[in-house]
Structure 1
Amino acid sequence: MYVKKSKNKYTGCMLGAAIGDALGKQNEGLSRKEIPHRVTDYGKTPERRPGGKLRAGQYTDDTEQMVILSQSLIECGRLDVDDFAGRIARWGAEAQLDPVRKSLIGPSSSVAIAQLNSGVSWKESGSDIPSCGSAMRVAPIGLFYKKLDDVESNAALSSLPTHNSKMAIAGAVAVAIGVRCALEDMDCSDIIKETGIRASKYDKGIAENIELSFVKRDAEPDKVFAELGTSYLVYETVPSAFYCFSRHFEEPEEAMIEAVNAGGDTDSIACITGALCGARHGVEAFPERWINGLENKEIIEHLAEMIFEASASV
């Protein structure tokens, strides 16, 4: 029974991230006030906006990078940063040739990919822009490693090829630690406490904002999102995701809808929220219409199962 429950939570985490990404892309780039209607299901993004060329239920680069990290972990049996950086570089070079996918890659990743493909070492290729690219993809680290020290150190390392600012590293550590703690069925307050302790080693500001997101969990979303911010900057995106998670800790579907309609970088906020909710509640966190409507869901489910099996030997 324990094994079945654990595998279910691994799958829930991976599916949750992809579902949040695919749902959230519909409102990406809009302020909270500009969102025309409250999104609760997949739909077509208007052509003029980011993701406008994608189909309903299709995810963005947030999930694509999570898939790449998952594949590297599975095939290497650990985080091999050389391997992961090489995969990111190849993926980025291919994506840059596709007008649709090119437009979805964030500024930090774009700079880093160019560096990597020009021969720069992953130790020096990362951008110092404090964006959320390494945080949105990091959930598999929290699944793969069981000890929190290992989760923290490997989450930090996984950020470096594309995002080497202290804020970005702190954001990646926070999400990976949050996922692992959620898997272990910790109370929300304990998840936030552990996340804050670990993230504060790299950037105290993000840790404080994550803790604030919990303190403000009963406050109205309009006020909290305005205070925390919802842009692509990691010190806004990650705390806003933790706010959605904390506010609706026992109502994962509501947490996702809150994130999808936060405004700003909604695909990343919802991607992170989905990973946390899925790790806590398993696949049952999400309605069947979201699971069945997700493009390539079988790929995500297969990767989650393989990570679960590979993590048993770590």
Structure 2
Amino acid sequence: MTNRVKIAILISGRGSNMAALLYAAKAETCPFEIALVASNNPQAPGLELAAAEGIATYAHSHKQLSREDHDQIMQGAIVAAEADYVVLAGYMRILSDDFVRRWNDRMLNIHPSLLPKYKGLGTYQRALDAGDSHAGCSVHLVTPELDDGPVLAQTKVAIMPGDTAETLADRVLIAEHQLYPDALAQYVTRQSDPDWILEQVRNRALMLEETYERPSFGTPGWRVGTEKTGKYFAYFSRRHFGETGTSVFVKTSGLDEQNALLEAEPDLYFSPKFYGKSGWIAIRLDTGETDWDHVESWLRKSWSMVAPKRLTKLMDIAAEF
């Protein structure tokens, strides 16, 4: 598979989840490749395995270093490897806020509980002590607060009679090895998933004043104004209207602006078959590199062209302050 995203994996020990990711990446259909395995422990057994499999490795002890200084060193190694995402796999270090912010929405972790239950350590015994019917594991995005980022995927693991923390941990680890590669693959390809793309457009469209969603010819559309007098300012196309690919249609100021956009960035814009003659433009959303701030700006611009004057006046007044 071409154009795989590059992953840097941080470990502190044997790296069993790292190994699961490494071997998953050997499949031709896998959307990611392992660019680096790095550790705060130069003796971590996982480094030897990664090197044996031809993966670049890096290690630097955190001892006698501040958290920020050590994170900066690790950041340098990750950047040098040209990684697109950071994946924590048994990395036993709390990361600095600055490091986490640098990798906002691009750093994942796996935790051995069904979050939000049992953040931190001792998760297996805590599940047993609580009398839970299931334990499990969760893949989540990393945020400054420990084990608190949005959960991307989970697997439940039944607690069996006579389980100890050790026997339960063994089964949860099997579930982790299955869950992590799949969740990572889905996350790094999300920007090509039409359902995920639609949700991004929907959230941004409905943030605008007095907007609501109404289907048009079988595809989502967004209007501003009342149910009777509202006007469309955006349509979502997933191979609708005779088009290919996934895109959002928005209004331009007219054919001159439309033509200028088509000439300047033909890989980003195209003229929709049924709406192009009215000055609408289509913005491609399935390239995997969508600038969502740009899309949000276009939605607001298109909204302002058809919104009632009382709304645009309020917006103009607010812009002055």
> Higher helix share goes to which structure?
1
Q: Which has the higher contact order (CA 8 A, sep 6+)?
A: 1
TM over 0.5: no
| TM-score normalised per structure 2 | 0.28
| TM-score normalised per structure 1 | 0.29
> Higher strand share goes to which structure?
2
Structure with max Cα Rg? 2
